[in-house]
Structure 1
Amino acid sequence: MNTTVQLVAAWGAYEEKHPGCSIEDFCRYYLLHQQQQKPADTGKLTGGLQPATPEATLMKVMGRIMRLHGLYSRLSLEDAGIGQFEEFALMNNILQRKNPRKSEVIYATIYELSTGTDLLNRLREKGYITEVPDPADRRSKRVKMTAKGEKTLQHAYKRMGQLVKMMLRDMDTEEVQLCIQLLKHVEIKFSERWPEDKGRSFDEIYTSVMSE
């Protein structure tokens, strides 16, 4: 096959799978793909038996990375006065949203209502956030950062920046950008679905997703 035709065909196949992608995204993907023609050496993965499919292997790798991220987050945030990454995520979301409802910030950070409520209570007890009545609905509460919370969060930003650099130190910027391009659609799709899927059975969710 003519090289130009082969390249155009590869671009078309990539664009079909990733609508809205740029030429730069495709070039990063294509160059990395050429470097990885050999089958992945899954024997080097850690953590027991290896999944039977590439999809399951990817989910396992992402899951283990996020668990390790949580463990290292706890260490990095100790001197900031934050106990775990979940607290940092809630504080960051509250600051960005200004004075959100408690339920809004919990769902935005993808936590269960009970878990998120416990975490917010912990942050309130530490003096990092405060609750205020919702003027639009007296039955609801809104949360806002305190001066102490904002100061703590600024230190936490520095620590989390160091953590990201440490964990992804062996990846080139192009590789990181390619991962974002390939995975962002999964994050967007299921983040949008989650609020409606919470009360449904897995079978209902599976049938809905697979019929799209």
Structure 2
Amino acid sequence: MSINQTVELVRLWGEYEKKHPGATIEGFCRSQLKTAVKKEKSAVAQRQLQPDLNGALIKLISRIGKFHTIYTNKALEGTGLDQIEEFGMMVIIFNQQHPIKSEVIFGNMLDLSSGTNMLARLKKRGLISEYADREDKRVKRLQLTAKGEKALKHAKQQILKVVFMLTQDLTDDDKHLCIQLLQPVDTRFSAVIQKQKGKSFKEIYLENTQS
């Protein structure tokens, strides 16, 4: 950073601090990011459909999610796993140590039918096995086989390459800030999404927007 840039940064901080008593560095940085985004906006044709601020944010997150899915499914070729959802299921089984089927399925935000079918395919390929719970024989618990653990380890290395590729242009501070800003969204909806699956969107919207 040059001397002129440093002077400009100090000036901007001084102006921000005057307007916001008790200002923090984090708040100042967020303010500068907002200003930069506004300056980058360009005029668009009036007849074009353009998202509002909320829509633009969700659209960006969604597109990044699609990049992740597309590249991950390619990276998984040859690992024994066919798609990112299978990897997510295997991770839950590994981390939770003998979970029941519903925990694995709903933990990956899948519906019961498609989740059950996916688990059946993993079992057929010899990657997982199931056994009856000791206290309730009606309940089936899941575990990885030796083949499954090997496949999971291989798949993890491939997925680490994908996420590095997607985030390489961000600094660690950028990544921490993104996580900090988006974590509340994940926390809010993780707690309610399963309970709301049988409800209409009108009911869901009211429940999630009323303070």
TM-score (norm: length of structure 1) = 0.82
Q: Distance in 1 between matches of 2:190 and 2:87?
A: 19
1:55 matches 2:69: no
Residue in structure 1 matched with residue 115 of structure 2 by the alignment: 116
List aligned pairs for 1:78-97, cutoff 5 A: 78-97=77-96
List aligned pairs for 1:39-54, cutoff 5 A: 39=38, 41=40, 51-54=50-53
Q: Distance in 1 between matches of 2:30 and 2:209?
A: 29
AA partner of residue 74 (structure 1): N
How much does 1:173 deviate?
1.2
TM-score (norm: length of structure 2) = 0.83
Residue in structure 1 matched with residue 127 of structure 2 by the alignment: 128
Unpaired segments of 5 or more residues in structure 1? 12-26, 44-48
Q: Deviations over 1:93-152 (max 9, x none)?
A: 110001000001111111111111111111111111001112233222111111110111
Q: Deviations over 1:152-196 (max 9, x none)?
A: 111111111111110111111111111101100100110011121
Would the aligned equivalents of 1:28 and 1:175 in 2 still touch at CA under 8 Å? no
Determine which structure has greater relative contact order: mean sequence separation of CA pairs < 8 Å that are 6+ residues apart, divided by chain length.
Answer: 1
Would the aligned equivalents of 1:129 and 1:146 in 2 still touch at CA under 8 Å? yes
* Aligned Cα root-mean-square deviation (Å): 2.1
How much does 1:42 deviate?
5.7
- Higher Cα radius of gyration: 2
AA partner of residue 197 (structure 2): K
Q: Deviations over 1:68-106 (max 9, x none)?
A: 111100111112121010100000011000100000111
1:144 matches 2:132: no
Q: Distance in 1 between matches of 2:71 and 2:16?
A: 46
Structure 1 residues 155 and 211: alpha-carbon distance in aligned structure 2, compared to 1, 3 A threshold = same
Structure 1 residues 51 and 9: alpha-carbon distance in aligned structure 2, compared to 1, 3 A threshold = farther
Would the aligned equivalents of 2:16 and 2:23 in 1 still touch at CA under 8 Å? no
Residue in structure 2 matched with residue 34 of structure 1 by the alignment: 32
Q: Distance in 2 between matches of 1:175 and 1:50?
A: 30
Q: Distance in 2 between matches of 1:89 and 1:40?
A: 39
Query: Equivalent residue of 2:106, what SS?
Result: helix
Residue in structure 1 matched with residue 208 of structure 2 by the alignment: 209
Structure 1 residues 28 and 128: alpha-carbon distance in aligned structure 2, compared to 1, 3 A threshold = farther
Would the aligned equivalents of 1:81 and 1:152 in 2 still touch at CA under 8 Å? yes
The alignment covers a number of residue pairs equal to: 192
How much does 1:51 deviate?
3.4
Residue in structure 1 matched with residue 174 of structure 2 by the alignment: 175
Would the aligned equivalents of 1:91 and 1:145 in 2 still touch at CA under 8 Å? yes
Q: Distance in 1 between matches of 2:21 and 2:103?
A: 45
How much does 1:32 deviate?
5.0
Identity in percent: 34
